[in-house]
Structure 1
Amino acid sequence: MNIIMCITGSVAAVESVKLARELKRQGFDIKCFMSDSACQIIHPYSMEFATGEKVVLEITGAIEHVKYASADLILVAPATANVISKFAFKISDNPINSLLITAFGQKTPIIMVPSMHDAMYQAVEENIEKLENEGIQFIAPRIEESKAKFPHMEDIVLKVLRETSAGDLKGKKVLISAGGTYEAIDPVRGISNRSSGKMGLELAKEAYIRGAEVMLLAGEMKVNIPPVIPTICTSSTGEMATQIQDLIIDYDIFISAAAVADFTPTNFEENKISSSKNLLLNLKPTPKIIEKAKIINPDIFLVGFKAEYGVSREELIESSLLQLKTTDIVVANDVSIDGAGFGSDFNQVLIIDKENVEENPLLTKKEISKIIFNKILTKLK
């Protein structure tokens, strides 16, 4: 796919080289337009190096603004108050705005990444709203130190991937639970597990890229969640169960990837327990979240996760088949397998439904998330 990347005169232009390289790693072909002001911040050779293509600095007899307007996506990163405001009123007095107006006329998708002083950002909000009403996509900046700063790189890449994907989950609402839970004993102690939340987060990213309306229900996470992924934070199994009961009626797909605790302390001590004496801890079972999902929403497509430790393949399948009584698919794994334990970027899973058992080798959790959604889409057809 082809992306035309436009760089304007914000100091955030220094981030554009890294952004272009990351988009290249994602498989995109990049062609760059630069404004005169951007050239005063970074040299065009930098972008030529990053993209492998000559940078467009002026409109020539090759009519570059028309030639490149039919790309798969136009990405303006960074976008200054100047380029946003001129585009809002379709003023064409430079190569970038000429390209944007032509692309707009051809209905080419356009994403803008504002980056400027916060006061300027507030001053052009009306122009941003006007463009959003016309179908132009914006990625909100990070507001820090009175500046509307360049967003996190991953947010931009995820937005680009979403805009250029086939959108096979567009129109679907996907709820995903992720991470571990924390069952408090007293104000400073509790019971948890070693779940990192990596698998759930990769599933949320994949659903987002494919065009779904995503909600990530995050427990105790050991990974950073990109701001572009809508998230509700919870801590205990009880809190997560309450959120799911409130939300699940409105969703088409629920993927229960969180490693929720099976037990919680019977009593919570209001004061810190003294460490000078033995402690006897009484536990009670936690709510079985996955068992209630289909009762609340019978039409939901439900994916459960089953983790075991040091079991045979047959034992893993047998325990997963029991969970299939309340789910449509079970993703099962043995966390004792080398390289596939808690916190790893890899896993080795069986994907089990009522018809068959699909075995997978050791794969990245990103690759597994793609396989899971391909399976879901096959089942939903």
Structure 2
Amino acid sequence: MSEPLQDLQDLAGRHIVLGLTGGIACYKAAELTRLLTKAGATVQVVMTEGAQAFITPVTMQALSNRPVYTSTWDAREGNNMAHINLSREADAIVVAPASADFIARLVAGVTDDLLSLLCLARPRDTVPLLLAPAMNREMWSHPATQRNMAQVQADGAHVLAPASGAQACGEVGEGRMQEPEELLQGLVAFFQPKVLAGRRVLITAGPTYEAIDPVRGITNLSSGKMGFALARAAAEAGARVTLVAGPVHLETPQGVTRLNVKSAQQMLDAVLPLAAAHDVFIATAAVADWRPAQLAEHKIKKDGSGQVPQIAMSENPDILATVAALPQPPLCVGFAAESQDVAHHARQKLQRKKVALVVGNIGPATFGQDNNALLLVDAQGDQPLPADGSRAPKLALARALVADIARRLPKA
């Protein structure tokens, strides 16, 4: 997984207590600390005795630039109450890795080390506890562990669920701690306002590919980045998100259900049965307007005559207009990727397709880029995003657009 963009400083001003318990996944905590600090957070590391068998406090101190705490009786605290002071200073306590033993002791309220003690002593209404379990697949699936996971969540902890994959013991299965980049995304998402909690959002993203013959086709330069950023932002905002993606090479955002398609017709076939069950439909995909009327059975070859083959074209279905015309449509948001006169063309699209909002942008200036400038066009007028007309990271724009869409929804 590539490193996530850090220029948003998503955790600026946040103070994170990062707890490490005994497990080989401690090596990932070093990278997690680096990513947290790059995202703007300050990180205070607390380690159990077991954790110190896998990674040293020296390493964690160097990465966090703060002294590491390992003992309940640490005399550096003036009142000798590290468990009180550390928990009161935190915006969140993150335990990564959280071993089966540590989770069991949290459930039982056993506090025989500093980390479990400060978790118990934290102000539960203001200092959230996030757990990233890490253990062998048999340990994870054991009924005792599953009972403990249910109880610790009932007690108020938030679980960053483990992934399935190769484990240090040589086995393969669930229980592997999430990668540092995934944990960072999970923590960032935790802090985002849940303006779409309980809502269902359907998004299309990327280009479509319209085949001419078995080896050639018609497509465009859309990278899908804006649509994927919107999927991530909507999921961060608490929505259940379904992403219908054209042919792109992007990782699926956390918590998002992804359906892969190629052509415009395939995209419509995926979207139409789902649309009515969603609260919002965001048509970010750059759908080809036309397709070859017939698919050649074999590759079309040059014959040396210099004659260009004539390819008859058919108009593709209009996915956004089709959804907007449903008897009970979701709130429909369209995108207009233009090369000129963005406001004019976006308003025409708004009126022609009878949707609530069209988001305009200059396609050639944004395809494949990590930043963009948008123009929000609705019945009331035009609004640039950002407000000063400058460019901004697509994820920042996506979060602002999600907040705007949430304000347009009727109260649940």
Shorter-normalised TM range: 0.7 to 0.9
Q: CA RMSD in A?
A: 2.5
Aligned partners of 2:35 and 2:181 also within 8 Å: no
Query: Matched residue of 1:264: which SS?
Result: strand
Distance 2:177 2:214 in 1: 38
* Distance apart, 1:106 and its partner CA: 5.4
Paired residues, number:
373
Q: Does 1:110 align with 2:129?
A: yes
Amino acid at match of 1:136: A
Question: Which of 18, 42, 48 is equivalent to 2:31?
Answer: 18
Q: Which moved more, 1:224-233 or 1:255-264?
A: 224-233
Distance 1:164 1:54 in 2: 26
* Distance apart, 1:286 and its partner CA: 1.2
Amino acid at match of 1:252: D
Amino acid at match of 2:392: L
1:221 — aligned with what?
248
Cα–Cα, structure 1 residues 227 and 357, in superposed 2: closer, same or farther, change >3 Å? closer
Cα–Cα, structure 1 residues 11 and 180, in superposed 2: closer, same or farther, change >3 Å? same
Query: Matched residue of 2:87: which SS?
Result: coil
Distance 1:6 1:208 in 2: 26
Task: Spell out, residue by residue over 1:142-189, the C-alpha distance to the aligned partner (whole angstroms, 9 max, x if none).
Answer: 322325333233321222122222322223322221111122344444
* Distance apart, 1:118 and its partner CA: 2.3
Query: Matched residue of 2:203: which SS?
Result: strand
Q: Which moved more, 1:181-190 or 1:27-36?
A: 181-190
Task: Spell out, residue by residue over 1:277-299, the C-alpha distance to the aligned partner (whole angstroms, 9 max, x if none).
Answer: 57543321111011022222646
1:93 — aligned with what?
112
1:139 — aligned with what?
160
Task: Spell out, residue by residue over 1:292-332, the C-alpha distance to the aligned partner (whole angstroms, 9 max, x if none).
Answer: 222226463222110122x2xxx322211111122222111
1:64 — aligned with what?
82
Question: Which of 310, 315, 324 is equivalent to 2:350?
Answer: 324
Could you tell me which runs of 5 or more consecutive residues in structure 2 were left unpaired when the two chains were aligned.
Answer: 1-13, 74-78
2:368 — aligned with what?
343
Q: Which moved more, 1:128-137 or 1:54-63?
A: 128-137
Cα–Cα, structure 1 residues 56 and 289, in superposed 2: closer, same or farther, change >3 Å? same
Query: Matched residue of 2:183: which SS?
Result: helix
* Distance apart, 1:57 and its partner CA: 0.7
Query: Matched residue of 1:230: which SS?
Result: strand
Distance 1:153 1:259 in 2: 32
2:49 — aligned with what?
36
Alignment of 1:334-373 (within 5 A): 334-336=362-364, 340-359=365-384, 360-373=389-402
Aligned partners of 2:231 and 2:253 also within 8 Å: no
TM-score of the two chains, using structure 1 as the length reference = 0.88
Aligned partners of 1:256 and 1:305 also within 8 Å: yes
Aligned partners of 2:276 and 2:329 also within 8 Å: no
Alignment of 1:182-197 (within 5 A): 182-197=209-224
* Distance apart, 1:219 and its partner CA: 1.6
Distance 1:36 1:348 in 2: 50
Query: Matched residue of 2:325: which SS?
Result: helix
Report sequence identity in percent. Answer: 28
Amino acid at match of 2:334: G
1:6 — aligned with what?
19
Aligned partners of 1:73 and 1:164 also within 8 Å: no
2:274 — aligned with what?
247
Could you tell me which runs of 5 or more consecutive residues in structure 1 were left unpaired when the two chains were aligned.
Answer: none
Q: Which moved more, 1:174-183 or 1:68-77?
A: 68-77
Distance 2:70 2:128 in 1: 22
* Distance apart, 1:355 and its partner CA: 1.9
* Distance apart, 1:5 and its partner CA: 1.2
Amino acid at match of 2:83: H
TM-score of the two chains, using structure 2 as the length reference = 0.82
Q: Which runs of 4+ in 1 moved over 6 A?
A: none
Amino acid at match of 1:11: I
Distance 2:275 2:402 in 1: 18
